[in-house]
């Protein structure tokens, strides 16, 4: 049996197809027009964006480069003791004054009380008087009974000094007692001292997440140091902390003794690079916590994501796809730049 198709149906199907293709064609034309307009707008925007002047740098490379972390450093006496009265009475003997040398066991202060034997305060170690708080005839109170009583005398040991620094948490894993420290003091311009870390705290400070490191330095001449070493070996280093010898610093330049209370900087040399490319730390920018750099190629900026292998705040070691020794990296005005930005670059010293 032959199926009969209504005469008007093929024409209706043809009309539907035509309408479909007409709508599809119109959509394609509109889409192409929008894309052309977007391209024209981008071209116009690029033409309107002014050329930005920037400074650029190349990688720093040498036979040996030392990088580290630098923080404020403070000088403290090796030992410091405040002598307090352990009885109430009158000061019957005190001779030493600020700056006077004292020897271990020497009588420094004597306090007399009615009906009692005089109480004598002796020097706990060889040192110097840093402060004197009373004179003969003064009445003093028992510091073990009355809180807040002023000490009678302060004695410090300064033939050795301890220089301390707080290391930020990010660098803690990179340091050890073999780490070298370069120390400079504001009061001794032109003088730089180099020695290894003497001791370091076993934990971070909760207040600022830093680790305390200390360097003990012998505070005298090389001849005095040799004499000091001989005496220390004779008594088994009994008067030294943990029986650890202080370092005699390698003085890079200058002379001068260190005084407790001096302020300066300590730079820990946490890593040494040989034949490795390093850039100034300021080349790195971040967006959303992701580090990147701007590289200039033929006057156009290119944004390159990087991995920071090391950054001590001065120099950094970077890796990134397309980043090479000859890459010209932007070090200024990064906030004004974007991918494809035209720049006028001035190349500085690496």
pLDDT in tens, 289-347: 899 999 999 999 999 999 988 787 788 889 899 898 889 999 999 989 989 989 998 99
Burial class (CB in 10 A: 0-12, 13-18, 19+), 26: exposed
Indicate if 238 and 179 belong to the same structural domain. yes
Q: Which two tokens stand for residue 160?
A: 């050795």
Q: Is 128 helix (H, G, I), strand (E, B) or coil?
A: strand
Q: What is the pLDDT of residue 158?
A: 96
Q: Which residue has the higher pLDDT, 31 or 194?
A: 194
What local confidence, expressed as pLDDT, does residue 68 receive?
82
pLDDT for 2 beyond 50: no
Tell me the sheet residues that pair with 65. Answer: 273
- What digits encode the pLDDT tens for the residues 157-187? 999 999 999 999 988 988 999 999 999 999 9
Residue 1 lies in a domain: no
**263 in the same domain as 174:** yes
What the block records as the tokens of 80 is: 């410091």
Rg (CA), the chain: 37
Say whether pLDDT at 153 is over 90.
Answer: yes
CATH number at residue 115: 2.40.50.100
Domain holding 251, by residue range, is 67-76+158-273
Counting the structural domains of the chain, the total is 4
Final residue of a structural domain among 253, 273, 293: 273
Positive/negative CA dihedral, 263, 269, 275, 278:
negative
CA dihedral for 97, 98, 103, 107, sign (positive or negative): positive
Tell me the range of 54-63, 227-236, 264-273, 304-313 where mean pLDDT is highest.
Answer: 227-236
In the structure, what pLDDT confidence band is assigned to residue 134 with cuts at 50, 70 and 90? very high
Same domain for 221 and 267?
yes
One domain for residues 191 and 72: yes
Considering the domain architecture, whether residues 126 and 168 belong to the same structural domain is answered as no
The closest alpha carbon to 194, from 244, 246, 251, 245, belongs to: 251
Residue that wins the pLDDT comparison between 27 and 327: 327
Residue 199 has pLDDT above 90, yes or no: yes
| Helical spans, DSSP H, in the chain | 9-48, 222-234
Residue 249 within any structural domain of the chain: yes
Residues comprising the chain, all counted = 350
Residues 6+ apart with CB under 8 A from 251: 191, 192, 193, 194
First and final C-alpha spacing in the chain: 93
d(CA 36, CA 132): 88
Do residue 186 and residue 137 come from a single domain?
no
Say whether pLDDT at 248 is over 60: yes
Cα(156)–Cα(158) distance, rounded to whole angstroms?
Answer: 6
Residue 60: CATH number of its domain: 2.40.420.20
Pair (138, 198) in one structural domain? no
Q: Is residue 123 part of a domain?
A: yes
The residue out of 219, 246, 273 marking a domain boundary is 273
CA-nearest of 237, 257, 256 to 158 is: 257
Q: pLDDT at position 273, please?
A: 74
**CB 260 within 8 Å of CB 76:** yes
Check whether residue 255 and residue 295 sit in a common domain. Answer: no
Give the sign of the dihedral formed by CA 24, CA 28, CA 29, CA 34. Answer: positive
Where does residue 223 fall: left (phi above 0), alpha (psi -120 to 50 degrees), or beta otherwise? alpha
pTM equals 0.66
């Amino acid at each position: 049996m032959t199926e009969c198709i209504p005469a008007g149906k093929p024409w209706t199907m043809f009309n539907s197809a035509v309408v479909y293709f007409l709508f599809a064609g119109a959509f394609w034309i509109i889409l192409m027009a929008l894309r052309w307009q977007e391209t024209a707008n981008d071209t116009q925007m690029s033409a309107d964006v002014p050329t930005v002047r920037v400074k650029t740098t190349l990688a720093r490379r040498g036979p040996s480069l030392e990088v580290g972390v630098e923080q404020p450093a403070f000088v403290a006496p090796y030992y410091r003791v405040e002598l307090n009265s352990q009885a109430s009475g009158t000061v019957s003997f005190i001779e030493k004054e600020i700056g006077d040398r004292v020897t271990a066991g020497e009588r420094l202060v004597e306090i007399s009380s009615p009906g009692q034997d005089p109480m004598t305060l002796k020097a706990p170690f060889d040192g110097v008087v840093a402060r004197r708080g009373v004179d003969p005839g003064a009445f003093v109170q028992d510091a073990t009974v009355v809180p807040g009583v002023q000490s009678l005398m302060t004695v410090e040991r300064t033939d050795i000094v301890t220089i301390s620094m707080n290391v930020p948490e990010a660098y803690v894993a990179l340091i050890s007692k073999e780490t070298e420290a370069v120390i400079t003091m504001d009061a001794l311009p032109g003088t730089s001292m180099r020695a290894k870390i003497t001791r370091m705290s076993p934990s971070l400070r909760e207040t600022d997440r830093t680790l305390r490191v200390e360097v003990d330095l012998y505070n005298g001449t090389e001849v005095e140091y040799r004499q000091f070493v001989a005496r220390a070996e004779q008594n088994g280093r009994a008067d030294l902390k943990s029986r650890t010898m202080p370092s005699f610093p390698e003085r890079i330049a200058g002379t001068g003794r260190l005084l407790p209370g001096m302020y300066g900087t300590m730079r820990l040399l946490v890593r040494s690079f040989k034949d490795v490319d390093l850039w100034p730390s300021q080349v790195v920018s971040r967006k959303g916590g992701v580090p990147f750099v701007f590289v200039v190629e033929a006057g156009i900026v290119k944004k390159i994501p990087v991995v920071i292998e090391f950054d001590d705040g001065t120099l950094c070691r970077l890796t990134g796809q397309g980043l090479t020794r000859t890459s010209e990296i932007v070090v200024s005005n990064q906030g004004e730049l974007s991918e494809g930005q035209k720049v006028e670059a001035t190349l500085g010293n690496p």
